[in-house]
Amino acid sequence: MILRQFYVILLKTQTNFYLLSKVLPNPSPRFSPDPNRLRFLNPKGSFGSRLMASASRSGDARRRNYAPLPPVSADKAELLRGLEAALGSPFSSDPLSPPASPMIIVISGPSGVGKDAVIKRLQEVREGIHFVVTATSRAQRPGEIDGKDYYFVSKEEFLSMIERNELLEYALVYGEYKGIPKQQIRDFMAKGYDIILRVDVQGAATLRRILGNSAVFIFLVAESEEALVRRLVDRKTETSDMLLVRIATAREEVKCTRDFDYAVVNGEGRLDAAVKLVESIIDAEKARVSQRSVRL
Ligand SMILES: Nc1ncnc2c1ncn2[C@@H]1O[C@H](COP(=O)(O)OP(=O)(O)OP(=O)(O)O)[C@@H](O)[C@H]1O
């Protein structure tokens, strides 16, 4: 048993020295283990065996005089200096993760699902995001603030914004115009902010055509149609006729879920859970190796 443990330690030591001898420019000439034996030690084709394979292809040409490394029990600074010397360059303090670039997050969903509520809460709990204030020709609702919730403009003003090509996207929704001012996005992205766009489902489809995969598309849904209707009725901002149109439209809109990157349930009384999920999506997107690059 003791002999076996000794043998395993010896083999591991040989493996480490073998790896170092192949990777480092100044390997020890004292160890030159049989590569076939080492392949047997690491049979699963892990990164380790791949490293060995590539090192064994290129290592021999890089052999130089051997300078012994300080032992691991040595003073830490001395050990680090020794490792740096052996590697031939100092350790870099540059971040190893790819730089996270500002991104555009499109939040959409049927009327009354809670887009405004989710975005409002997200702005309270997360820094570095900018909610693009949409221009609209619809009337201001009680409690809404001009320039914060929407830019409330007349129909004539809206049409001249279209004329001047100032909008990334616009639509006529329930007889009223809504549109996204382009310059606001450029300005805030230049300052490093992530951009939140709030659009209805048709708007999201248009934005997908314009932005492609350069933006992240999130579809907000209620837990059920019944819950969505209850929420719309409770809001008390629509007439019965308007409610009917919105609910019929919502039935069609949920069929578009698959056109989005993510679906987030905004369940009754579970606003914070929905916001947390949106935050997780943003965090995950920031950790992507290949970042989405925005084209405006
Ligand atoms: N998780 C939730 N639980 C309960 N009520 C909610 C939740 N989320 C939003 N609400 C309420 O539902 C109503 C509709 O929400 P909100 O106005 O944010 O929807 P919306 O998707 O922005 O609607 P619209 O597109 O018509 O402007 C509001 O009264 C809001 O306070």
What ipTM score was computed for the predicted complex, to two decimals?
Answer: 0.96
- For residue 286, count other CB atoms closer than 10 A to its CB: 16
Pocket test for ligand 1, best of 174, 196, 235 (most atoms within 8 A of CB): 235
Sequence-distant (≥ 6) Cβ neighbours of residue 279 within 8 angstroms: 122, 125, 126
Q: DSSP letter at 71?
A: P
| pLDDT tens sequence for the chain (296 residues) | 454 554 444 444 444 444 444 444 444 333 333 333 333 333 344 444 444 444 444 444 454 556 789 999 999 999 999 999 999 999 999 988 878 889 999 999 998 899 999 999 999 999 999 999 989 999 998 999 999 889 999 999 999 999 999 999 998 877 999 899 998 999 999 999 999 999 889 889 999 999 999 999 999 999 999 999 998 898 888 899 999 998 999 999 988 999 999 999 999 999 999 999 999 999 999 999 888 888 77
Report, as residue numbers or ranges, the catalytic residues: 141, 235, 246
User: Largest Cα–Cα distance in the chain?
Assistant: 91
Q: DSSP letter at 20?
A: H
**Ligand 1 atom nearest to 268, measured from its CA:** 3
Q: Give φ, ψ of 295 to 5 degrees.
A: -115, 120
Q: DSSP letter at 101?
A: P
Pocket test for ligand 1, best of 108, 116, 144, 149 (most atoms within 8 A of CB): 116
Both structure tokens of 204: 């999201």
Distance CA 294, CA 271 (A): 29
**Cβ of 269 less than 6 Å from ligand 1:** yes
**Cβ of 117 less than 6 Å from ligand 1:** yes
**Cβ of 268 less than 6 Å from ligand 1:** yes
* Beta partners for residue 167, in sequence order: 181
Domains of the chain: 2-87 (no CATH), 104-286 (3.40.50.300)
pLDDT tens profile 85-130 = 999 999 999 988 878 889 999 999 998 899 999 999 999 999 999 9
**Cβ of 238 less than 6 Å from ligand 1:** no
Q: What is the reported pLDDT for 8?
A: 45
Distance CA 128, CA 188 (A): 10
Q: How far is the CA of 98 from the centre of ligand 1 (A)?
A: 36
Q: What is the reported pLDDT for 115?
A: 94
Q: What is the reported pLDDT for 66?
A: 61
- Strand-pair category, 104-108 with 194-198: parallel
Both structure tokens of 66: 């051997």
Q: Whose CA is nearest to atom 31 of ligand 1?
A: 117
Task: Determine the 3-state secondary structure of 178 from DSSP.
Answer: strand
Beta strands in the chain (DSSP E): 104-108, 129-131, 134-136, 150-152, 167-173, 176-181, 194-198, 215-221, 262-265
Q: What is the reported pLDDT for 290?
A: 86
